[in-house]
Structure 1
Amino acid sequence: MEYFEPIFIVVAGIFAGFLNVVAGGGSLITLPLLIFLGLPPTIANGTNRIAILAQNSFAVAKFNKDGVSSYPYSIYLGLSALSGSVLGALLVVDLDEQLFKRILSIVMIGVAALLFFNSKAANLVKGEKMAFKNQLWGVISFFFIGIYGGFLHAGIGFIIILALTKLNGFSLVKTNSIKVTVALVYTIAAVAVFVYKDAISWKYALILATGNSLGGYLGSVFSVKKGDGWIKGILLVTIVALAIKLWFF
């Protein structure tokens, strides 16, 4: 590891952690970065989960301290996603490296399209909907969201935001608090699979986790503020550039 790499990784982690909490898509930065630094795609995928675990631990603690939560509904969603994430992680851990890079590239373009064409999630909110049927559809939906989370995770924040605002009409701040809680729960299961398969580079994981943790904390502090359009603009350009590089190189 070159001397500048730890600093670069920490800075990228701070940016990614912040993005993951206030909107989503941070792993679309860190996952390709780890691959570009020389980690095999599957190892990069597992390594990135340690940073996500640390980031969401800090974010959940901050949201709970500020009294922002939707307990016990968030736990129900988290447990549903957890069961799906085990399946997703098992599917991806032995996947062909070139196929994984192609899938990641396609997902990144898809998320870029979602960012470009979809209106802000906050504008979708029309009041909370917590009837039994809404909660039931939420639990069912999050099982499948968990499969994707265990498989790749990258860009899942946007999917969760859309699901929670469409199904339950939560405000952006409550949506973000639920999002990090759900991600924390299912990431524990995904990490267990990657550890079992010895698919984590702990050297890179701990460095990245330092940055993601700080970014996650900052994201939880600023998540209630508006004006994240500039962040999404930067993310959009970065996603397209990295997706092109992943596809062709």
Structure 2
Amino acid sequence: MPGPEVLLYGLPLAFLAGFIDAVAGGGGTITLPTLFFMGLTPPQVVATNKLLAIFGSGSATVQYWRKGHVNRALIVRLVPLALLGSALGAYLVHFVDPDAFRTLIGVVILGVGVLVLVNKRFGLEDRYPGLTNRTLALALPGAFVIGVYDGFLGPGTGTFLMFLFALVGFNLVGASGNARTINFATNLGALLFFLIGGQMVWWLGLPMGVANALGATLGARMAMLRGSAFVKWMYGGIVLLVAARLWFGG
């Protein structure tokens, strides 16, 4: 078990992860390797990461919610599907080797990033048409599939969610707000599951969670202040980070 000195680098990295995650997703690509480096066992890493992620995703959700960047009518329809998908993904992980398609998911998420960046207008304007048949046909199965991925593998879930919300018409600030809200719900569901397992390292997760929340608050405010163009280029960088994590992170 590591000593308290690991917080000297754990706290600033958790803050940075919260900032990045609140803007474009992908904070776990920083916190997961950090917890591994501290010497925690894999179950402790996964459980403790969910603990601190609750702080960050919750803080970002509050910021976006207050400024009207969360579409409540759509979110209440998607959260149950995302939770159901996440539970199914956690079940499937016992029967399928995640490494078998880790590289494929890395290619997919990189392709998503390229599509977002190459299409100059994608995500820069709010064109959300409301709860139309097209919206529901894209968002409902999309939330379920991404939920399965979150429970099964995880890295890049927020990035995929942002693409889904941008695809149905939100600008990238709105897409980020909605994605963080779904992430908070799935993180909460996973946290309740991991509490039963008793693998939480509380003395690390709680202070790193507070740092993560502070970073997420700043990141959400920065995204709303700077707008979708800022989020778009941050998103491109996070896509590269997540793809690298999937290909080389093990």
Q: Does 1:123 align with 2:121?
A: yes
SS at match of 1:72: helix
Change beyond 3 A, Cα 1:67–1:95 = same
TM-score where L is the length of structure 1: 0.82
Q: Matched residues in 2 for 1:119 and 1:133: separation? A: 20
Correspondence list, 1:95-174, <5 A:
102=99, 106=103, 109-110=106-107, 113-114=110-111, 117-120=114-117, 123-125=121-123, 127-130=127-130, 131-166=132-167, 168-174=168-174
SS at match of 2:85: helix
After superposition, the C-alpha distances for 1:50-73 in whole angstroms (9 at most, x for unaligned) are 111111111111122223221121
Gapped runs of 5+ residues in structure 1? none
Q: Matched residues in 1 for 2:146 and 2:24: separation? A: 16
The answer to which of 19-28 and 3-12 deviates more is 3-12
After superposition, the C-alpha distances for 1:177-201 in whole angstroms (9 at most, x for unaligned) are 1111111112111111111222322
Q: Matched residues in 1 for 2:175 and 2:160: separation? A: 11
Are the equivalent residues in 2 in contact too, given 1:77–1:142 (CA < 8 A)? Answer: yes
Aligned residues: 241
RMSD between aligned residues = 3.0
Change beyond 3 A, Cα 1:46–1:3 = closer
Residue identity opposite 1:30 in structure 2: T
Change beyond 3 A, Cα 1:17–1:107 = farther
Q: Matched residues in 2 for 1:218 and 1:124: separation? A: 25
Change beyond 3 A, Cα 1:24–1:135 = same
After superposition, the C-alpha distances for 1:31-80 in whole angstroms (9 at most, x for unaligned) are 12211221222321121111111111111111222232211211211221
Correspondence list, 1:70-81, <5 A:
70-81=71-82
After superposition, the C-alpha distances for 1:110-137 in whole angstroms (9 at most, x for unaligned) are 4773476343388324621331332243
SS at match of 1:4: helix
Residue identity opposite 2:13 in structure 1: A
Q: Does 1:181 align with 2:181?
A: yes
The answer to which of 123-132 and 14-23 deviates more is 123-132
SS at match of 1:153: coil
The answer to which of 126-135 and 172-181 deviates more is 126-135
The answer to which of 175-184 and 202-211 deviates more is 202-211
Change beyond 3 A, Cα 1:86–1:24 = same
Aligned position for 2:59: 58
Are the equivalent residues in 1 in contact too, given 2:61–2:181 (CA < 8 A)? Answer: yes
Aligned position for 2:204: 204
Are the equivalent residues in 2 in contact too, given 1:122–1:172 (CA < 8 A)? Answer: no
Aligned position for 2:244: 240
TM-score where L is the length of structure 2: 0.81
Structure 1 position 91, deviation (Å): 4.3
Change beyond 3 A, Cα 1:165–1:68 = closer
SS at match of 1:154: coil
After superposition, the C-alpha distances for 1:3-49 in whole angstroms (9 at most, x for unaligned) are 43112111111111111111111101111221122122232112111
SS at match of 2:128: coil
Aligned position for 1:19: 20
Q: Matched residues in 2 for 1:40 and 1:103: separation? A: 22
Residue identity opposite 2:40 in structure 1: L
Gapped runs of 5+ residues in structure 2? none
After superposition, the C-alpha distances for 1:165-221 in whole angstroms (9 at most, x for unaligned) are 12x110111111111111111211111111122232222211321221111111110
